[in-house]
Structure 1
Amino acid sequence: MSSNGGPETAAIQVLTRAVQLDSEKKFAEALACYEQGIRLLIQAAKEVKDENKRTHFKKKIEEYLVRAEVMKEANKKVKTIGRTHRQIHIDVDSTGHSYETIFGDLIDETLSSVEVEDAYIRSIHQIYNFLKFCELLVHKGPHLRNITLRTSRDPSPAEHSTQNQRLSEIRASLLKHSVKLTVEYSDTIHDREIRFDSGWIIKIGRGLDYFKKPDSKFCLGWSDYHFRQCHQTTVDIFHQQSVG
């Protein structure tokens, strides 16, 4: 779009601000700017005489309408979940608490980066849990580009080497889906917290390791965590805008 005055110039200014607010995950403010900018762009399209330019405006309007809808849905989640603080109590031996159930509604087109702080992503089943979580992120987050894992080293040098190798294999696999995994080791980490750059913060008492071992490799729950029995823990979900 070229700025030659009138509604077009105003639309450019407002939509530029909308894109900036969008990148900052300020959903409500971005939505308001998208809606205002779209109205101005519609007005500009009506006034312009050049057919190619009118077609270009219509295409941009469609693109911004899609993004405005994403902002609307994201803002709705903040209002319905974040500001009321969702707390999930998982009872011992209960089922139906897969990562999809806990995190699924929070993963959408606004997500581009995830930070996982979990001291115990070391043993094979814990690393499998992390892999399962990564699979969900990639499946439901089309714009995900970065995952950062902060965890502790296995105290055994040999086991740490194996730990590092397994995480390296996950890193290589994620790269095939245009997602970069960064692993940071800390010997003093104790927190268990997951942060989405879309604003969601999830605290789980046991971190990702709240599932019990399945009875065998040939039972419900081995591959689908929905059927796995759980340890007792509490999940707290809120949005950073609700605690600002």
Structure 2
Amino acid sequence: MGRYEQQRNFLKSNFLEFKHVKTDKIKGLPQPAIVKPYASSSEIIDLPEPSEEVVSKSNIYDCIKERRSTRFYSAESLQLEELSYLLWATQGITSTTKTGLTLRTVPCSGATHTFETYLFIMRVEGIRQGIYRYLPVEHKLLFVSELDEMDRKIDAITLEQPFVPHFTKKAAVLFAWSTIPYRSEWKYDISAHKKILIDIGHVSQNLYLASESIDAGACAIGIYDQNLIDEVLGLDGEEEFVLFLGAVGKKRE
């Protein structure tokens, strides 16, 4: 049991220990920005307003019942309206409190929302291939960069998938959620990291259910090359790093 002990203890609640910690929030240090800044010269793509019109399966019972991890995709592209809906479903802002906290379509510990959503877009109508970042406040896409040999690099990033090798590069979009841990550490200190892992589970499940509702398939991916994907996305690997991936594409008949 010895080699599991540290990780098992991480899964447990440490609230009593946390009660005696003076967090950066209590110390009066400024709250970190809720989203990463970007240059005013950046290329910004408008997204359609999220709409239930893209939903073909509106019965939530059916979506929960029929949801599966989908690793076989057709060559069909996602519509931009569908991508807009998936982004809204996973990180969309539904309201803002008087204190500036963003309330979103997914629950999050203390509304700290440590995640940034990056997209490897392969097949979305009207959008060229490349890497993008979602801007939840504006509900827009920020173009990050083109990516030469995208298929090969996605293969390298997602390593040896045990069930269906090389499936990730055949998706229409690969979601990559990074975390900026200090957004939660500022408020929760040593308790932040368990909360971050819980929160990403909410995001991933919303991707699954929203994908099912538009007759698309999703598959969460926890096997990936950490250093390579952080490097490709230009992340420092310490203050921001990728935490989880999710592939989405239209289901193959």
Higher normalized contact order (CA 8 Å, seq sep 6+, divided by chain length): 2
Larger strand proportion of the pair: 2
Which TM-score applies when normalising by structure 1? 0.29
